[in-house]
Structure 1
C-alpha cells in the first residue's frame, strides 16, 4: 500500500472523484509510492508578489519522479469556440493549464530549498477524469493524439485506468523522464525531504504568559450563580458560606464588604492571614467604612490603643498569648475604646478558634442581630481539628471552582475530602509538572528552581510577579537566594524582578498564576494532606511540584 499523507481521508473532502482516487491510490500503489492529498503552498515572487499553489494529488516515487495531478469529476466538456471547460455544465479552469501552473509553482518552491537548489528534479503534471471514458467521449480521437494541444492522452487518467493505476502512474512518470538517465534522479532521501516539506506537522502551544493574561481578564468577574448568592445574602444577617479552594469565597467576601460599605455600613473584613489582609488593603484602597485587618493584628492594635497590650513578655507562653490572651483583650479593648462596626465578615473562617467568635460578635453595634458572615473551607483547616461554623443554620455551599484549570483541579482533588461534587469551570490547562530531587540536597534543589524560573520568564513570557514559590515551613532555606537570574524573597521588590517565596500557611487565601510548591520538610506532618491541598490549590494556571525522594 502507498504511504498516504494525510494517512486517512479527511471527512470534509466533498469531491467524490478525489475520494475515489484517494482510496484507489492507497490500495493499488506499492509502498514505494508516497501520495499527498490536497496540498497547498505559497511561493514568493519579487515582481508580482507571493503566488499560491495547490494540487489535488502529488505522487512521488524514487527513481521515477514527482507527478502533480489535477482531478475533475463528473461529465467533462470543452468548447473550442470559447476556449471554455465545463464539469457537469459548471464552468471550470483549464485543468491542464492548472496542473502545469501548479507543477511549475511546486518546482519553484522546491528550488528555494537548499537540498533541491542544485538538483535536477524529474517532475510532471497530469489530469484525472475518473468519471468518464475518453475513448467513448471522443470517438474520433486517435490513441496517440491529444484532447487539446496542451492535453496529450499520455497525461490523462480516465475511468478505464482505475483498476490499473500503478502502471498508469509509472507510464506518466516515464513519459516525462523520456530517455534521461541522469544520476540525480529522485531517490529515497529525496522523497523523505519531500515529505518533510509537504507534510510537516507542528504543535504551537500557547505561551503561558499569554494564558495568564487572558485568564486575568476573566477571573475578576463573578459568575451568575455567585451574583444570585450575593443577592440572597442581602436578606440574611448570619450566614456561613462553605466552598473549596478557588470557589470564589474571598471574592464574595470582599464584594459583600464593599457593597455594605457603599450603603453606609461600617464593616470589619478580617482573616487569620496577615498577607491576605495586606492584599485587601492594596486592592481596596482607603475607605473609612472598611476596616481591613488580620485577626491578631486587630487584637494587638486595639489592645495597644487601649493601653492593655502585654507586649513582649518572655514569661507568657506564645500559644497562650495569641490563642487566649489577645482574643480576650480584643473584647476588653473594643469595649473600652467603644470600637464597633455594623458588620463583621470573616474569610478563611476555618482558621478561627471557637473562643474567638465571641469577641468578634461583640464588635458589632448589635451583637445579637448584627450582620455576621463567615466564609470557610474545612479542607484548609490547618490549626483547628474538628472545626465547626459558629452558626446553627446550615451553610450555603459554593460548588464551582473558578480558580484552577481542570488539570490542576483534578490533581488537587486527591487531597480534598468532598462533601458535595465540585464543578471545575477553568480551562483545560497544562499538566501538573512534577520534578523529583534528592531529599535534603538544597544545592540541587536551588539549581532546579533556578532553571525553572529562567524557563518560565524567558521562554514562557511569565512575569515575575505572577510566580510564587511555596514551602511547607522552612522558607529560610531559600530566602534571599539568587536562583537562576532571580532573587527570591518573602517581601519581593516587583520592580527589581524579585520573586515571592513564602510558606503555605502565610499564603492561605491568596493565589498566583504559577505556583512552585517546594516540599522541603516532610517530617512530623500529621496533617500533610491538608497542607498539600492548600498549597496545590493556590495555582491558577500552572502548578509545579518539586518532590523530594520521600513521596507525598
Structure 2
C-alpha cells in the first residue's frame, strides 16, 4: 500500500477497501496506490483516482469508491446518498481516471503494450443491482458482497473479465504485464520520491524560526495560569511541555527566586542542565542525580531498581529532613514518571511550603508516556495536591503534520492533536519492511543514506529502538554503519549518527529519527514505547518494522 497508512479523515468506503486489500493474503505481491491526485486529467483541471491496483501478470485496475448507503439511478441521473442528482456516472469517473493514468504513463515513456487497464466502481455499503446500460458493463460493478469473497478475488475478477472483454476487440500478448521492472517504472512515475534542494542549514533556520514563533503562543498558557501557585500542565508529546518548563524556570529566576527544574530521564536531565547553564539560582537535572548529590551515595556497579527507588531515596530523605535544601519553587518535567510515593516524599522537602503549599509547576502526559509502571501516577499526584488546577495543551508544535497523523494512526491516539502549528512539507514518513530481525543492516544503511540525500547531516539523525539489548544499531555488522553509529549515552561526535533506546531518549527530540526493531507487539508497554518513539522527530520519520507488527494498528486490529 502506498502510502502504507490511510488518513483518519478518509471516506469510510475508501478505508474499508484499503483495509481489506492490505489484509488479504492474495494481494501480497500487489502494489496499491490510493488517493492518487491527477494533475493531468483528461476531462477537468484536476482529478483523483481512489485506487490504482497494480497486479503483476494481470494488469492495472483503476477503482472509484462510493461509500453511500443509498444509490439511485433513474431518468434524473445518479443520486448518491443525500447528494443532489447528477448526470455524471461514477463509471465515467472511473473510466476518465483510468485514461488519465494511462495517458500520463505513456507521456513518461512507460511502455504499456502488454499491460491491461480496466476501470470499475466499488459500492462498498450496498448490493448494487443496476440495470443493463450502455454506460457500463456488469463486470465493472463491485459491491458489499465482494468483501465476503475477498477483496483481492474481486479485483482479479474485474481484471479477468476486462481481459475477456478486450480480447474480443484486439489481440493481447500471451504473457501479459506488468512484470516486476515495469511495476517499478509505473510506481516511480505515479508516486515519485520528491527531492528538494533545500540545504540542511536552511531547514534548521526555518525550523528554529517556526518553533520560536509557536512557542511564544504556547507561553500564553503560563500567562493564563500565573495567578495559581500550583498548576499541572498536561498534553501529548510535542505540545511544548519541556519548553514551557524551561520558560517557567527562567521567569521564576528572573524574579530573584531559587528553584529546582527536575525530571526522571537521565538524558533529558543532562539536556535541562545544559540549557540552564548561566542561571545560578536554578538547579536543573534528573531527580536521581540530584538525590545522589544530596545523599552523597555512590552508585554500585550492580545498581538495580531497589537502589534507585529505595536506598537512594531513603538516604536522600535523611539529609533532606535535616533541612537546608528547600528552594522557592519546584518545576517537574515528565511528572508522570516521578509521581511515586517515595519520590514525592523527597520533593515535598525540596520546596518551601511543600507540594501542597509551595510554588510547584508540573508538566506531564499521563495518557501515553508513562513507561515506568506508574499506572496511577495522576491519582497519586492529585492525592498529594488536592484540587490542583490543570491546563491542557492540545496543539502540536514539534512534529510536521504528516508525522503527527502517523502517530495518531499507529498509536491509536484519541482524540489526538487539536491542530498542528507547523506547516506540512509534503514528505511522508518512510517505511522499510523486513521479515527477520537480523536482516536490518541494509535497511538501516539505506534509511540513513536517504535522510542524508534529503539534506540532513549525520549529526541530525537519531536511531531509536525499543530494545535495551540487541538493537539493530548495536549489533549491526555492516562496516560503514559500525563506523558511523555511536551510542548516545555520551555526546555524539560530529559526523556520526547517535543511537539509543526509546526509554533513554524520552523527553528529547531530533530533526530526523529512525525507529528500528518494531517487530514485537507483545513486548511489555510496546504501545507506549511506539508512541514515544514516533513523536521524537521534528522533520523526518523512518520506520524499520515487520508488517505483522504494524499492520494490525493500521488496519484497526485486522490481520
Normalising by structure 2, we get a TM-score of: 0.58
Give the structure 2 partner of residue 418 of structure 1: 414
Contact 2:260/2:329, CA 8 A, preserved across alignment: yes
Contact 2:276/2:284, CA 8 A, preserved across alignment: no
1:118-148 per-position Cα deviation (integer Å, ceiling 9, x unaligned):
xxxxxxxxxxxxxxxxxxxxxxxxxxxxxxx
Deviation at 1:483, TM superposition (A): 4.2
Quote the Cα distance in structure 1 between the aligned partners of 2:454 and 2:194: 15
Quote the Cα distance in structure 2 between the aligned partners of 1:386 and 1:237: 24
Quote the Cα distance in structure 2 between the aligned partners of 1:202 and 1:363: 54
Question: Does 1:329 find its partner at 2:325?
Answer: no
The higher radius of gyration belongs to 1
Quote the Cα distance in structure 2 between the aligned partners of 1:540 and 1:208: 16
Quote the Cα distance in structure 2 between the aligned partners of 1:242 and 1:518: 29
| Residues 202 and 268 of structure 1, relative CA distance in 2, 3 Å threshold | closer
Question: Does 1:205 find its partner at 2:199?
Answer: no
Question: Does 1:296 find its partner at 2:288?
Answer: yes
Contact 1:399/1:421, CA 8 A, preserved across alignment: yes
Deviation at 1:234, TM superposition (A): 2.2
The DSSP-based 3-state class of the residue aligned with 2:233 is strand
Question: Does 1:427 find its partner at 2:419?
Answer: no
Quote the Cα distance in structure 1 between the aligned partners of 2:220 and 2:358: 22
| Residues 397 and 206 of structure 1, relative CA distance in 2, 3 Å threshold | farther
Quote the Cα distance in structure 1 between the aligned partners of 2:293 and 2:359: 23
Give the structure 2 partner of residue 370 of structure 1: 358
Pick from 229, 248, 270 the counterpart of residue 237 of structure 1.
Answer: 229
| Residues 325 and 523 of structure 1, relative CA distance in 2, 3 Å threshold | farther
Give the structure 2 partner of residue 381 of structure 1: 370
Deviation at 1:282, TM superposition (A): 2.3
1:226-270 per-position Cα deviation (integer Å, ceiling 9, x unaligned):
222111232111110001110000000000001111211111000
Question: Does 1:254 find its partner at 2:246?
Answer: yes
Give the structure 2 partner of residue 541 of structure 1: 539
Give the structure 2 partner of residue 312 of structure 1: 300
Contact 1:480/1:487, CA 8 A, preserved across alignment: no
**Runs of 4 or more consecutive aligned structure 1 residues displaced over 4 Å after TM superposition:** 5-11, 201-204, 222-225, 480-485, 491-495
Give the structure 2 partner of residue 511 of structure 1: 509
1:489-531 per-position Cα deviation (integer Å, ceiling 9, x unaligned):
2246655411110000111111111110012662752321111
1:32-69 per-position Cα deviation (integer Å, ceiling 9, x unaligned):
xxxxxxxxxxxxxxxxxxxxxxxxxxxxxxxxxxxxxx
| Residues 476 and 289 of structure 1, relative CA distance in 2, 3 Å threshold | farther
Map 1:476-515 to 2 at 5 A: 477=471, 478-479=473-474, 482-484=479-481, 486-491=484-489, 494-515=492-513
The DSSP-based 3-state class of the residue aligned with 1:245 is coil
The DSSP-based 3-state class of the residue aligned with 1:455 is helix
Question: Does 1:472 find its partner at 2:466?
Answer: yes
Quote the Cα distance in structure 2 between the aligned partners of 1:358 and 1:387: 14
Contact 1:513/1:542, CA 8 A, preserved across alignment: yes
Give the structure 1 partner of residue 338 of structure 2: 352
Contact 1:475/1:502, CA 8 A, preserved across alignment: no
The DSSP-based 3-state class of the residue aligned with 2:220 is helix
Quote the Cα distance in structure 1 between the aligned partners of 2:469 and 2:511: 20
Contact 1:468/1:515, CA 8 A, preserved across alignment: yes
Quote the Cα distance in structure 2 between the aligned partners of 1:339 and 1:518: 43
Question: Does 1:395 find its partner at 2:390?
Answer: yes
Quote the Cα distance in structure 2 between the aligned partners of 1:276 and 1:293: 8
Quote the Cα distance in structure 1 between the aligned partners of 2:321 and 2:394: 39
Contact 2:408/2:416, CA 8 A, preserved across alignment: no
Question: Any stretches of 5+ residues in structure 2 without a counterpart?
Answer: 1-39, 47-191, 551-559
Deviation at 1:548, TM superposition (A): 3.0
Contact 1:511/1:538, CA 8 A, preserved across alignment: yes
Question: Any stretches of 5+ residues in structure 1 without a counterpart?
Answer: 12-200
Give the structure 2 partner of residue 338 of structure 1: 324
Give the structure 1 partner of residue 456 of structure 2: 462
Map 1:115-154 to 2 at 5 A: none
Deviation at 1:203, TM superposition (A): 6.5
Question: Does 1:409 find its partner at 2:400?
Answer: no
Map 1:78-227 to 2 at 5 A: 205=196, 207=198, 209=200, 210-223=202-215, 225-227=217-219
Contact 1:468/1:512, CA 8 A, preserved across alignment: yes
1:275-323 per-position Cα deviation (integer Å, ceiling 9, x unaligned):
111112223323211101201111111110xxxx275286xx8222222
Deviation at 1:466, TM superposition (A): 1.3
The DSSP-based 3-state class of the residue aligned with 1:501 is strand
Q: CA RMSD in A?
A: 2.9
Normalising by structure 1, we get a TM-score of: 0.58
| Residues 475 and 492 of structure 1, relative CA distance in 2, 3 Å threshold | farther
The DSSP-based 3-state class of the residue aligned with 2:219 is helix
Quote the Cα distance in structure 2 between the aligned partners of 1:490 and 1:404: 22
